[in-house]
Structure 1
């Protein structure tokens, strides 16, 4: 009887995942793989076995709103960051791909528009995000 109870306990413990699930607010940075919940969206930063990362945005029912191209994954060993500003825009930077982009929040609940940021860009970048890139 004790062996059966011990086996059930071991089985339950082994099935429990230790995901990095966090609730985040405006003006917060993400720099670790995991699942992050912000208002009505979920930001997923997935790490593969080879150490490469991609990120995606989904609603709370896991319907995909945006997913980074899997062929343009970035390394966890490089400098990368996701940032959510006060307007719910989601900023992304990776030194690995030398890429800075933003998902601009639209008027509708799950309306986001992808925009890549170039050096001569006229779009205002949040100061907190700029400071983190230095």
Structure 2
């Protein structure tokens, strides 16, 4: 009985270990793996791996209320090129080659919500690090914000 209890406890510990999200403190930079990325006292980006091995992200407030969630039909895949970047103002930028989706998620403090802007259709100032990585690794010649 004691041996069975020890084996059961160990198996529970090892299987639950994968469910614990990795926590990162990030002022600005690239988000590259599953986990919780704390941007400030009031905002966090959560990246989860789905059963089909794709990734989805959401931006939440400190109470975990969702401020923005990526569409389930445009998730990131390890089989395709994608970038996810947070700037020092807690705006989020992403590119997904699988769906030719490129967005800047800019926070409107007055409305307390994120506005999604296609940065290849509308010119915005992209963070230098994100812009350089996009220019180096993609073929977005018609992207207005990369000019």
CA distance in 1, matches of 2:13, 2:108: 42
Structure 1 residues 109 and 7: CA distance shift in structure 2, 3 A: farther
- Specify the alignment match of 1:3 in structure 2: 3
CA distance in 1, matches of 2:116, 2:27: 19
CA distance in 1, matches of 2:32, 2:11: 32
- Specify the alignment match of 1:117 in structure 2: 119
Q: Is the 8 A contact 1:31 1:80 kept in 2?
A: no
CA distance in 2, matches of 1:74, 1:23: 19
1:106 aligns with 2:108: yes
Q: Which runs of 5+ in 2 are unaligned?
A: 137-147
CA distance in 1, matches of 2:110, 2:95: 25
| TM-score (norm. length: structure 1) | 0.81
| TM-score (norm. length: structure 2) | 0.75
Structure 1 residues 88 and 38: CA distance shift in structure 2, 3 A: same
Q: Is the 8 A contact 1:103 1:112 kept in 2?
A: yes
User: 2:95 aligns to what SS in structure 1?
Assistant: strand
- Specify the alignment match of 2:28 in structure 1: 27
> Could you tell me which of 30, 44, 47 is aligned with 2:46?
44
User: 2:130 aligns to what SS in structure 1?
Assistant: helix
Q: Is the 8 A contact 1:20 1:35 kept in 2?
A: yes
- Specify the alignment match of 1:17 in structure 2: 17
Q: Relative to total residues, which structure has the larger strand share, 1 or 2? A: 1
Kindly tell me the number of residue pairs found equivalent between the two proteins: 133
> Could you tell me which of 61, 64, 69 is aligned with 1:62?
64
CA distance in 1, matches of 2:103, 2:83: 11
Q: 1:55 offset after TM fit, Å?
A: 1.3
